[in-house]
């Protein structure tokens, strides 16, 4: 197989987490080696549906997820599990960006395949930490919010680039420093070290979203900042709340005027 779109679909469809990770690492290595490339003759993307998933965790509405404090080992394990679930979904989000949206520059596909590789590595780090805490991926309930947004934006590369990396994934830039501080207070330096790696690398992922959102806007002759605000209204009723990690968002390509605007959202 030398078609990157087909390889992305294979990663998407894998149901076993270890297999999804293995296929992701394999595809990234092949892309780096030049043996895997986007093929213009690849069959069009199938309509979006659920990606390959294990039978657990059970997916429930976010409001039904149990709230656990970080003062207990169980609470810390639940937090690590929640982040692992985000990273597992992020593997599929990155591969769907490769599989679904065709006719892009090679750099686009390299960016999102690289993101998939990073997310798979993050997931592996977190599941390793879960094992140290006496748990495994699937032991706690989770929600489906990330993939629901992928389904809502499957028809539009512009909306996908705006709302998945620059809204949902960027939220991680905002909340991770606070999580790290609370975990550090609990003496959980092992988890803090993992989150520090993830935070630094996620800045580049949000930056990729910014880069390709701007590319889509330039292609279509539309103004990026007004478009971003309109998409937020259309898809999320304008709901985006702080606090915001302004330094990380600035590094990820948010303009000063966007950061000022975010500050008005509450």
Residue 11 in contact with residue 94, Cβ under 8 Å?
no
Judged against a pLDDT cut of 80, whether residue 73 lies above it is answered with yes
Sequence-distant (6+) residues with CB within 8 A of 144 are 59
**CA atoms of 126 and 183, how far apart (whole Å):** 14
**Rounded distance, CA 222 to CA 163, Å?**
16
Percent of the chain with pLDDT over 70: 99
- For the stretch 201-221, pLDDT in tens is 999 999 999 999 999 999 999
Cα gap 247→173, rounded to integer Å: 9
pTM beyond 0.75, yes or no = yes
Residue 132 pLDDT greater than 80, yes or no: yes
Closest CA to 94 of 173, 172, 11: 11
Token pair, residue 191, equals 């988890």
Asked if residue 169 lies in contact with residue 116, where contact means CB atoms within 8 angstroms, the answer is no
Q: Are 158 and 198 in contact (CB under 8 A)?
A: no
The pLDDT score that the predictor gives to residue 266 is 63
């Amino acid at each position: 197989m030398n078609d990157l779109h087909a390889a992305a679909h294979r990663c998407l469809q894998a149901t076993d987490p270890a297999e999804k990770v293995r296929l992701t690492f394999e595809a990234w290595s092949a892309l780096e080696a030049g043996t895997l490339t986007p093929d213009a003759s690849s069959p069009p993307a199938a309509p979006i549906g659920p990606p390959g998933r294990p039978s657990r965790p059970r997916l429930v509405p976010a409001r039904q997820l149990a709230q656990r404090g970080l003062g207990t080992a169980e609470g810390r394990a639940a937090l690590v599990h929640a982040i692992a679930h985000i990273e597992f979904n992020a593997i599929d989000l990155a591969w769907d960006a490769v599989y679904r949206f065709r006719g892009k520059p090679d750099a686009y596909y390299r960016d999102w395949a690289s993101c998939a590789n990073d997310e798979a590595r993050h997931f592996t780090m977190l599941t390793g930490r879960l094992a140290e805490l006496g748990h495994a991926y699937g032991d706690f309930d989770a929600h489906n919010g990330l993939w629901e947004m992928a389904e809502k934006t499957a028809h539009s590369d512009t909306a996908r680039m705006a709302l998945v990396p620059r809204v949902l994934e960027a939220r991680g830039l905002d909340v991770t420093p606070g999580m790290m501080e609370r975990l550090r207070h609990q003496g959980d330096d092992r988890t803090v070290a993992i989150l520090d790696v993830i935070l630094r690398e996620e800045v580049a992922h949000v930056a990729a979203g910014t880069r390709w959102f701007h590319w889509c806007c330039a292609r279509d002759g539309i103004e990026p900042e007004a478009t971003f605000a309109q998409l937020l209204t259309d898809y999320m009723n304008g709901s985006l709340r702080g606090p915001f990690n302004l330094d990380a968002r600035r590094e990820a390509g948010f303009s000063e005027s966007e950061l000022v605007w975010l500050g008005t959202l509450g």
